[in-house]
Amino acid sequence: MAGFDRTVAEHRAAVLADLHAVAPVSLPIAEARGLVAATPVRAAVALPGFDNAAMDGYAIRLADVTAPGAALPVSGDIPAGSVPAGPLAPGTACRIMTGAPVPDGTEAIVPVEDTDRGTDRVRIDRLPRPGAHLRRRGEDVAEGATVLDAGQLLTPPRIGLLAAVGRPEVLVHPRPRVLVLSTGAELVPAGRPLPPGTIHDANGPMLAAELDRLGAQVLRAPIAGDRPGDLLAALAPALDGGVDLVVTSAGVSAGAYDVVKQDLAGQVEFVRVAMQPGKPQGFGLVGPHHTPVLTLPGNPVSAWVSLQVFVRPALDLLAGRPVIGCPGTTGVLTAPLESPAGREQFLRARTGTGDPLPVTPLGGPGSHLLGSLAHADALVVVPADRITLAAGDSVDVLLPLTPTGSDR
């Protein structure tokens, strides 16, 4: 690994080793979707909470309906939300609605469609099976059962389950607060005129949008200039414990004005990672609250790849989720590829449809090529020791834009 300090895997491991899940807070369940439970939750009540009817119909005893056409007096009427007046009197039927508690002694529910729908007397046209359309107390969730484990994601059905067992709040790891900060004297926000030699800040909006999509609570700082102290001044408000992670871009390679490197020297470890794009990286715990800071390279493709490869698993860990990072799969190349030796390559590509997944390389390797990145939906990962790849070769593929499900 001449000229490099670490592999991609080594840098990722070094970052993850210093991180902890954000301290749990209790949140209303309506605000918990996509977050991870910090403690197990037990059901204080059984589900269903009482024996009830699964159909609108009539509660009967089996001995009273021995042949189709049997007629019984209707001894009561039980809408959902009410309680039976008493046990089901032998020799009678009780009209009952779906979800209503069944009277004691009920052995089956006859759906209304299998009757003449009588209100004083009812004729039963079809023999019910024993236990038909009866939902038993606790058959779904037993009282005291664990309904949510620590580390499990709050999906909509799990939020429904918490509500069903009467929990209005849940202890979760909150959305990590991530400050996104662009550095560079050449940067101008979109919407402002561009003086000669300047460019619009693309990384800030791109990284912020992706972190928001991945479940972070994104905070933005104004663009930091390239004078010594500019970055520390821009960062200072965030280092008071108000953010869980800082992500900067640019200013980390070998330039004379690489402010990130200068301002964070001694607090952030700057390393050359054997990857392309994304070689210059930095990570450290900064300020009195030891706030994790990841410094990404400035070229937009480098910043994007670094976000997928390093920031994404870090965010998983902070959010208390299983550390998965960018999802990936195995694909098959539709065209040959040349890949420089010595650095793990992350090449932009477009996927087709099929199994195995066809992947077509897109655009050149230049890490400034944001135009082609914007049309890519995959990154082909080529190991450092592979130089030529043929059409039809199997390759590892990252799929950064895969929708983030809440079903992990």
Ligand X SMILES: Nc1nc2c(c(=O)[nH]1)N[C@H]1C(S)=C(S)[C@@H](COP(=O)(O)OP(=O)(O)OC[C@H]3O[C@@H](n4cnc5c(N)ncnc54)[C@H](O)[C@@H]3O)O[C@H]1N2
Total residues interacting with ligand X, rule: CB under 6 A? 27
Task: Find the DSSP H helices in 191-330.
Answer: 203-213, 230-235, 259-263, 300-306, 312-318
Torsion (CA) 68, 73, 79, 80 in degrees, nearest 10: -50
95-103, 274-282, 320-328, 370-378 -> range binding ligand MOO (CB under 6 A) = 274-282
46-54, 209-217, 273-281, 371-379 -> range binding ligand X (CB under 6 A) = 273-281
Asked if 298 interacts with ligand X (CB under 6 A), we say yes
Asked if 282 interacts with ligand X (CB under 6 A), we say no
d(Cα 24, Cα 332) in Å, to the nearest integer? 42
Q: Rule CB under 6 A: which of 223-252 touch ligand X? A: 249-252
Q: What angle do CA 191, 193, 195 make, to 5 degrees?
A: 145
CB-based contact 136:48 (threshold 8 Å)? yes
* Residue 92 touches which of ligand X, ligand MOO, none (Cβ within 5-8 Å per kind): none
Asked if 254 interacts with ligand X (CB under 6 A), we say yes
Choose which of 184, 277, 284, 300 interacts with ligand MOO (CB under 6 A): 277
Q: Rule CB under 6 A: which of 213-272 touch ligand MOO? A: none
Cβ 394 to ligand X shortest distance, Å = 28
Cβ 167 to ligand MOO shortest distance, Å = 47
| Secondary structure of residue 363 in the 3-state scheme | coil
DSSP state of 33: T
CB-based contact 350:377 (threshold 8 Å)? yes
Asked if 203 interacts with ligand MOO (CB under 6 A), we say no
**Token duo for residue 6:** 């670490």
Asked if 369 interacts with ligand X (CB under 6 A), we say no
Choose which of 223, 367, 378, 381 interacts with ligand MOO (CB under 6 A): 367
Helix, strand, coil shares, percent, the chain, to 5:
20, 30, 50
Nearer to ligand MOO, 278 or 313 (CB): 278
d(Cα 225, Cα 79) in Å, to the nearest integer? 70
Binding stretches for ligand X (CB under 6 A): 182, 184, 186-187, 199, 201-204, 249-255, 258, 277, 279-280, 297-300, 302, 367-368
Binding stretches for ligand MOO (CB under 6 A): 276-279, 297, 299, 302, 367
